[in-house]
Amino acid sequence: MEKELKYEWNLSYRIEHWVRVLAIAVLVLTGFYIHSPFMGGGPESYTMAWMNFFHTLSAYALLLGLIVRIYMAFNSSFDRDWQDFGLIRNLKAAPEMLGYYLFLKSSYERARKYDALQAIAYPFIGIVIIFQVMTGAALYKGRLFGFINSSESFRWVSTMLGGESYTRIWHYLAMWVVIIFAGVHIYFSLLRTVTFRDKTFTSMFNGYKLKRKTS
Partner 1 sequence: MGEKHLVSEQFLDALEFRGLSRRDFLKFCGATSALLGLSELYTPQVASAIEKASKRPPVVWLNFASDSGCTESLIKATYPNAADLVLDILSIDYNETIMAAAGKQAEEVLAKSLKDGRYILIIEGGVPTKKGHGMIAGKEMIDILKDFSGPAAAIIAVGSCATFGGVPSANPNPSQIVGVSEALKKTGVNKAVINLDLCPVNVEYLVGVVVNYLLLGSLPELDSFGRPKMFYGRIIHDNCERRAHFDAGRFVEQFGSKEETMGYCLYKMGCKGPMTSSECPKVRYNDKINWCIGAGAPCIGCAEQGWPDKFARFYERLPGVKIPGFGGIETTADKIGAVAAAATAAGIAIHAVASASSGRTKDKEKEEGK
Which residue ranges make up the site for partner 1 (CB under 8 A)? 1, 3, 35-37, 39-49, 51, 100-101, 103, 106-110, 139, 141, 151-152, 155, 162-166, 168-169, 172-173, 175-176, 179-180, 183-184, 187, 191, 194-198, 211-212
Q: Measured from the CB atom, is 1 or 88 closer to partner 1?
A: 1
**How far, CA to CA in Å, does 163 sit from each of 76, 140, 142, 155?**
40, 14, 18, 9
Q: Closest approach of Cβ 54 to partner 1, in Å?
A: 14
State in angstroms the smallest separation of the CB of 67 from partner 1: 27
* Total length of the chain: 215
The set of residues, in sequence order, having a beta carbon less than 8 Å from that of 144 and lying 6+ positions away, is 137, 150, 153
User: 3: which strand partners?
Assistant: 212
- Residue in 113, 128, 109, 118 with CA at minimum distance from that of residue 80: 113
Q: Are 9 and 203 in contact (CB under 8 A)?
A: yes
Provide the minimum distance between the beta carbon of 76 and partner 1 in the complex, in angstroms, as a whole number.
25
Nearer to partner 1, 84 or 198 (CB): 198
CB of 64 to partner 1, least distance (A): 26
